[in-house]
Amino acid sequence: MQTVDVIAEILKREGVQHLSCFPTTPVIESVAAAGIRPIICRQERVGVGIADGYSRVSNGDRLGVFAMQYGPGAENAYSGVASAYSDSTPMLLLPMGHPRDRQGVFPHFNSLSNYAGVTKQLEQISTPNSTSATMRRAFAALRQGRPGPVMVEIPADVAHQEVDEAASFWGKTPRPVGSQGDPQDVAAAARALCNAAHPIIHAGQGVLYAKATAGLVELAELLAAPVMTTLLGKSAFPETHPLALGSGSGVMSAPVYHFMRRADVVLGIGCSFTKHGMSMNIPAGKTMIQATNDPRDINKDYDIHHPIIGDARLVLRQMIDACREILGARRREQQAVAREIATQRDAWLALWMPKLTSRQQPINPYRVIWDFMATVPPEDAIVTHDSGSPRDQIMPFYRCGGPRSYLGWGKSHGLGTGLGLTIGAKLAMPEKVCVNFMGDAAFGMVGLDFETAVRCEIPIITVVLNNSTMAIETQAMATSHRMFHTRDLGGNYADMGRAMGGYAERIEDPAEVAPAFQRARRMTEEGKAVLLEFITSAETEFSHRRAF
């Protein structure tokens, strides 16, 4: 067997079902012969996004894999890998490398040196007989510790060389059992929680990867503690639950702001507490508890009074047991907290109802989001956004149904990322209605990969909110726009969707928003990829705290 054939056999044994790829690499032929389906995208960055979305929705149980050629292929994939790294997505990257005798020669692009800052681990298959050992280390890294992309470079001259039979072996990589937190640390944190007047739980993506939603719900109900999630952690706590506040980032719902401002103790579970434009800054004066599987997170941006290192699911179980022992027969009144959350949410929504139900033309983008929520039940959907306005408009209002029903991202601002994520999500869970919301600027970055969904018969719904301008840059580009129209964008994207072979509509009447989503869902059930272009206003008001 050649090196690429051994790689394909290893991928098959590890349960890999799809390989997103572009434009060409000998890995494609080998995986196809092994029964793994290649998904040929239109550009490398979207192919990385497909692998990213597949891994996220599979929660790391099934891994997304992306392969690309050396040189331009590896160069073009960089931004997608950087986004995945910032969001801690486990996926395998298989770039070709230049022949070994040409590596390091200017101007050849070197994946090993250039990707070091945006991968969890990277190696090169230096000889054919090192293939199995190198791949074994890669899969171990993918399944241990904090998730992240792992890269294995395949030099072009090694790819087709024969592997000795004795060197071609594979034992499936076991999933390691996560570690518990130190019992003394957990006990001290539990005392702080049980003695708090106004505790709040701040849940991150680690809850999702640990499959810890059930434990999170149990602890929240035990303490009658409201729960907010990070942008990445959105869906870790079901947002239809009476104790759900929603997600906090640069934008948030009023309940998130109200309860975080008042809280005296904050339990961060499966989160990094990173200060960032896409995270919520925690007000000073709180007692901070942080449970994470990565020691680098502790005291990074906040002084943590009770640090706990451990797996989120196991730490939650320890915390539940410790809190039950402390509380005994005492129980907090959950109904009162739930009523207060509902009161805060209702008052906040009342302020936004003129936009959420607006009949104006062009259509207010909030009307598109509101009607979508009323048309497609959250338990049926997997939803993601794109950078900029679509993310900030949908995230505070959309109430997702459960784990991985929403794919939040944004610590690295790769405009156009949502399309690849949605294609990967549909591959992972074909029974779901998979939808990405993007602006016209994002469509300009990656829109041709809608054809990938059409050609590969992956029936997603792409929503383009077309306001023909870079609305959030209105103040930043005032002079240049007045002189040179720098914010103007243009295009009929529904026409493009039809030209690429998909089902497409251009909607200008707000009364047609909900019916358009109903038709779109029916089309996906018939196996068609759908593009809905809504002609929207240049809305620039967001649910920041000053908007409450």
**Region of residue 96 (phi > 0: left; psi between -120 and 50: alpha; otherwise: beta):** beta
Residues 120-133: pLDDT tens digits? 999 999 999 999 99
What's the per-residue H, E or C state across 532-546?
Answer: EEEEECCCCCCCCHH
Q: What's the whole-number average pLDDT of the chain? A: 95
Taking the CA atoms of 341, 344, 347 and 348 in sequence, report the sign of the dihedral they define: negative
Say what percent of the chain tops pLDDT 90.
88
> Would the pLDDT of 146 be above 70?
yes
Cα 435 to Cα 466: distance, rounded to the nearest angstrom: 16
Is residue 548 predicted with pLDDT exceeding 70?
Answer: no
Query: Model confidence over 24-75: pLDDT tens digits?
Result: 999 999 999 999 999 999 999 999 999 999 999 999 899 999 999 999 999 9
Q: Distance between CA 76 and CA 200 in Å, rounded?
A: 42
> What's the predicted TM-score (pTM) here?
0.96
Which pLDDT value is given to residue 268? 98
Contacts (Cβ under 8 Å, ≥6 apart) of 235: 208, 229, 400, 401, 402, 403, 404, 405, 406, 408
Instruction: Quote the pLDDT of residue 108.
Output: 87
Ordered by where they begin, the domains of the chain are 3-167 (3.40.50.970), 183-340 (3.40.50.1220), 357-547 (3.40.50.970)
Q: 345-379 pLDDT, tens per residue?
A: 999 999 999 999 999 999 999 999 999 999 999 99
User: What pLDDT band is residue 546 in, cutting at 50, 70 and 90?
Assistant: low
Q: What is the pLDDT of residue 545?
A: 65
Q: Which helix (H) or strand (E) holds 369?
A: helix 365-375
* pLDDT-derived band at 397, boundaries 50, 70, 90: very high
pLDDT (0 to 100) of residue 473: 87
pLDDT at residue 172, rounded to an integer:
67
pLDDT in tens, 406-450: 999 988 778 999 999 999 999 999 999 999 999 999 999 999 999
**What's the mean pLDDT in 262-269?**
98
- DSSP assigned state of 248: B
